[in-house]
Structure 1
Amino acid sequence: MITLAIIAFCVLMLIGTPVVFCLGISAAISLLASGVPMAIVTQRIYSGLESFTIMAIPFFVLAGLIMERGGIARRFIDFATALVGWVTGSLLFVSVVACTGFSAISGSGSADTAAVGSMTLPEMRKRGYDIDFATATLAAAGCIGPVIPPSIMMVVIGTISNISVGALFLGGILPGLLMSVGLLIACHLHAKKGGEAYRDSVPFSARRVVTTAVAAIPAMGIAVFLVGGIVGGIMTPTEAAGMAVFASILVGKYIYRELSFSQLPGLLLRASAMSAAVMIVISTANVFAWLITSQNVPQLLAEYLGAVADNKILFLLAANVILLLIGTFMEGISALLIVMPILQPIANQLGIDPVHFGVVVVMNLSVGMLTPPYGSTLFVAATIADRNVGQVSRKIGMPMLALTAALLVTTYCPPLVTWLAGSLMP
């Protein structure tokens, strides 16, 4: 049964079928060929969405759109410019720092890339930066979004693996910052040999840092409020997502005064369309995941990996390779729903901390957002820069190396995750 499903899935992917249909159709074909009632498909689709935690996804998507329209994203960029706008290659640094900051309130890598790129990429083109490298760097910075809390991917992992979402959120902070530092180093190395275009920088001004920091306090306050509320047990992730929408409206409308109530219907429509695309992937992936589980694939894979990777080091290396390959071809949430039921039991058997493993999985699939053919942040950044993906892909080497280095350090240095998350771990 599972062999037929995998063959059907691969054939559908090769002919360009959207992932959501690949998952649903391949599972349905396998079930039909095995004589299993097709009612199972509709039942599993429904059960895949019957989760209070998953309701956080549309709220976080809407909050990100409101933050972009309400001037919150721009305040982060202004603050980032004041902090690092004086260094060589300043706009590259600004893009990375701004994406890191915006990650703390959006939960979505694509949203970070779109919000920051729409403001920095046109200016980098005007100054004569290597636009393909700048676009690749922005796409790589967008990959930080799912790692730094709040994170939609971590909400999904917490739901399907019964892991504390608050612990995952805390565990992702240091690895996310490590990714950011790696990208800043890559930007510095590129800018040093980039020529005069990269030396057009803004003089450092402590006064400007203070001024922009004060202006960004309401935006930063949203991030502190959300993460603190979840970690402190005051709010569930879903309740925090709802509060993020409410707080974003208040800040955008009454503090920054850049959001009007007349804009909300359009934002609601966009958020609905984006959320529907994510939710239907989750529902159909649940059918595929149930099929894999019912055929004892996790147990079979555990036995195989147990024979070739019978210790933590080899297993984590194998898991990283597998997840990086999967992330290259699949959307992160659908990949999570397929691989977590398979890999998590093996990690548990080897004594790997579940929060550490969850963060490593998220980092792997986040790096996949940079690489074609899927590469969601890569596509978003290339579209904003008015470049094709092939042109930008030639420049992803250095940013990719920085992200991979951060991934390997996190993989083999569990305290980076468990140190902050320890207070919430059982």
Structure 2
Amino acid sequence: MLIVTIAFVVLLLMGMPVAFAIGISGALFFLQHPELPFTIPVQVTVSQTQNFALLAVPLFIMAGNFMNRSGITDRLLTLASVLTGRLKGGLAQVSLALSALMGGVSGSAIADAAMQSRMLGEQMVGRGFTRGFTAGVLSFGAVLTPIIPPGIGMILYGTIGQVSIGQLFAAGFVPAALLWLALSVSVWLTARRRGYQPERRHGPSLRETATALRGGLWALLFPVFLLLGLRMGVFTPSEIGAFAVVYAVFIGVLIYREMKSEGFVAALEGSLADVGAVMFLIALSAIFSYGIVLERVPDVVSGWILGATENLYVAMVLIALFILAIGFFIDATVLIIMLTPIFLPLVRELGGDPVHFGIVFIVAATIGNFTPPVGAAMYAVCSILKCPVGDYTRESMPLFVAVALVTLLLIFVPQIVLFIPDLLFGR
């Protein structure tokens, strides 16, 4: 697997799309083992896409695109401004609140970061924020998105690891709130030092607050409906994805009445491109994963970590550091697909909870989206704002430290993650 891994890294550094890099490097494994039938790559590629639980992925992607076209985003921006506009940091605080509120809508950190950069980026620069700080806030704020239902990473992790997706959905709320708090404090400290002013001079009136809450109510209820539907057994994870699509269209057409035929078609086209990219990646990752399993890589890695420590929390810190390091080069979706079969059995062997580990894993993997050299969200934001990566990296360090500290807290205090799942699902 060493040659395969080196080939994968080299292809990534050459700028090859991740799906092709992972597929081509995986095919090299079969060239190294001519005794294996070369029909296997075709078989595993097709069979990887036949998992019924993965039907939730394209459905939730489609729901996110429809919700973005339904008029929800503007109403959530108003609500975010009402909630955080008085805090030091102005629009930077508003953007963090919007990321928290948008988590249940977009489900994708990269999509959320790019959307907010187009909405708020130039406004923040116009209010005196440096481009590096602006890009850092808009990028790192999107770390909240994957752990608020219906994060695509949760669905992939739950499907691959045979972990309850409903419990993963429930587990994301408290960690997301802690990440929001940590990032908000980091922004507040920077704003205080640099003199960045609040967006609003006066607190909102009761009427203004009620209006903003009413406008964002349908979006805020979305993750609640998801959890209740799963908890009460009304939907399976795949079926609730279909409900999410119907819900998004219902809001856009009948409630807000902002989704016209052009928006409907545009949402379908966007969904087609997004679903194609994700499922193509999932399919080709099966070639790489086959070699990992055949070469017993999970056993080797587990043996190395167990040789270093048998303490669950130390092992999870080592795993998180490894995921963080490799996440500097590989997208979070790929990491979840490739590493879940390696690390989840190890955590279970040490007595860890798969839901607890899943949230830590997803946060650690997502951080790579915001860091050089290949962070997809970082490049999307820097490209939109025309911000040098060096400026972005330097001014994002306080935000990186805030997220890292929360990740450590989640590792050592698992009840933060498990409190709501225990309450709802009676684990």
Is residue 147–residue 366 contact of structure 1 (8 Å, CA) maintained in 2? no
Distance 1:154 1:425, change over 3 A: farther
Write the letter of the residue equivalent to 2:289.
A
How far apart are 1:257 and its partner, in Å?
A: 2.1
CA distance, structure 2, for counterparts of residue 229 and residue 115 of structure 1: 29
Distance change >3 Å, CA 230–CA 386, structure 1 → 2:
farther
Q: Indicate the residue corresponding to 1:24 in structure 2.
A: 23
Cα pair 2:104 2:219 within 8 Å, conserved:
no
Cα 1:68–1:115 shift into 2, 3 Å:
farther
Q: TM-score scaled by structure 2?
A: 0.95
The equivalent residue for 1:382 is 382
Alignment correspondent of 1:299: 299
Check conservation: 1:369, 1:375, Cα contact below 8 A. yes
How far residue 200 of structure 1 moved from its aligned partner, in angstroms, is 5.0
Instruction: Mark the CA change 1:388 to 1:164 in structure 2 (over 3 Å): closer, same or farther.
Output: same
- 2:419 matched to which residue of 1? 419
Does the 8 Å CA contact 2:132/2:388 hold for their aligned counterparts? no
1:359 alignment partner in structure 2: 359
Q: 1:129 touches 1:198 (CA, 8 Å); kept in 2?
A: no
Q: Which residue of 2 aligns with 1:226?
A: 226
SS of the equivalent of 2:144 reads: coil
Q: Check the 8 A contact 1:164/1:424 in 2, yes or no.
A: no
Residue 367 of structure 1 and its aligned partner are, at CA, apart by: 1.3
Aligned CA RMSD, in angstroms, stands at 1.7
Instruction: Give 1:17's aligned amino acid.
Output: M
Q: Structure 1 pair 269/190, CA: closer, same or farther in 2 (3 Å)?
A: same
Aligned length: 424
Give ranges in structure 1 of 5+ residues lacking alignment: none
1:300-339 aligned within 5 A: 300-339=300-339
Instruction: Calculate the TM-score normalised by the size of structure 1.
Output: 0.95
Larger mean CA deviation between 243-252 and 348-357 belongs to 243-252
**8 Å CA contact 1:218, 1:251 repeated in 2:** yes
1:318-352 deviation line (CA, Å, top 9, x unaligned): 10110101221111121112111111111111111
2: CA distance between counterparts of 1:388 and 1:47? 42
Structure 2: which amino acid aligns with 1:161? G
Q: Report if the CA contact (8 A) 1:28-1:41 is conserved.
A: yes
2:29 maps to a residue whose letter is S
Match of 2:82 in 1: 82
8 Å contact from structure 1 (residues 62, 245) kept in 2:
yes
Distance 2:193 2:304 in 1: 48
Q: What's the secondary structure of 1:143's corresponding residue?
A: helix
Match for residue 348 of structure 1? 348
Deviation at 1:425, TM superposition (A): 6.9
Offset, 1:227? 2.8
1:242-292: CA deviations, max 9, x gaps? 222221122122222221023222221121111111111111112211211
Counterpart contact for 1:150–1:227, Cα < 8 Å: no
The Cα shift of 1:88 comes to 2.1
**Structure 1 residue 199, shift from structure 2 partner:** 4.3
Deviation at 1:37, TM superposition (A): 1.2
CA distance in 1, matches of 2:352, 2:114: 36
Q: Alpha-carbon deviation of 1:105?
A: 2.7
Alignment partner of 1:203 is 2:202: yes
Which structure 2 segments of 5+ residues have no match?
none
The amino acid that maps onto 1:9 is: F
Alpha-carbon spacing, 1:133–1:264, altered in 2? closer, same or farther (3 Å): same
Identity %: 30
Mapped partners of 1:380, 1:215: distance in 2: 29
**1:11 aligned residue:** 10
Letter in 2 for 1:73: T
| Equivalent position amino acid for 1:166 in 2 | G
The whole-number CA distance in structure 2 between the counterparts of 1:202 and 1:239 is 46
**Separation (CA, whole Å) in 1 of partners of 2:364 and 2:225:** 28
Contact 1:167–1:425 (Cα < 8 Å) also in 2? no
Output the CA distance in 1 between the equivalents of 2:126 and 2:176. 30
Q: How does 1:242-257 map to 2 (within 5 A)?
A: 242-257=242-257
Query: Which aligned pairs between 1:84-163 and structure 2 lie closer than 5 A?
Result: 84-163=84-163
Task: Answer yes or no: is the 8 Å Cα contact 1:143–1:377 preserved in 2.
Answer: no
3-state SS of 2:395 partner: coil
Contact 2:69 2:264 in 1 (8 A): no
Once the two structures are TM-superposed, the CA of residue 95 in structure 1 deviates from its matched residue by: 0.4
For residue 238 of structure 1, report the CA deviation from its aligned partner: 2.1
TM-superposition CA deviations, 1:167-199 (whole Å, max 9, x none) = 11111111111111111001100110122x524
Which deviates further from its counterpart, 7-16 or 274-283? 7-16
Q: SS where residue 149 of structure 1 aligns?
A: coil
Query: For the residues of structure 2 that align with 1:142 and 1:295, how far apart are their CA atoms?
Result: 36
Instruction: Note if 1:54 corresponds to 2:54.
Output: yes
Structure 1 residue 240: deviation in Å? 1.8
Following superposition, the deviation at residue 68 of structure 1 comes to 1.9
The residue that corresponds to 1:34 in the other structure is 33
Given that residues 253 and 260 in structure 2 are in contact (C-alpha distance below 8 angstroms), is that contact kept between their aligned partners in structure 1?
Answer: yes
Distance 1:184 1:126 in 2: 21
